[in-house]
Amino acid sequence: MRETAIKVNESLDKKGKQLGEVSPRELRDIFREVTESLGIRRETDE
């Protein structure tokens, strides 16, 4: 979890944004990119 948070913050830094400046949709997209790059699988209810 810590590595995910660090990667999300690094991604925000690259975009020149802070957490409070991104929309929920943009944060979700960043989180998805980070978790996929780390090989973390997402559990779904489907």
Summarised one tens digit per residue, pLDDT across range 1-46 is 899 999 999 999 999 999 999 999 999 999 999 999 988 876 664 4
Residue 11 within a domain: yes
Residues 6+ apart with CB under 8 A from 3: 38
Q: pTM for the complete prediction?
A: 0.76
Residue 8 within a domain: yes
Residue 18 within a domain: yes
pLDDT for 45: 46
pLDDT for 26: 96
Residue 16's domain comprises: 2-37
Number of domains composing the chain: 1
pLDDT for 41: 75
Residue 46 within a domain: no
Give the C-alpha separation, 21 to 46, whole Å: 31
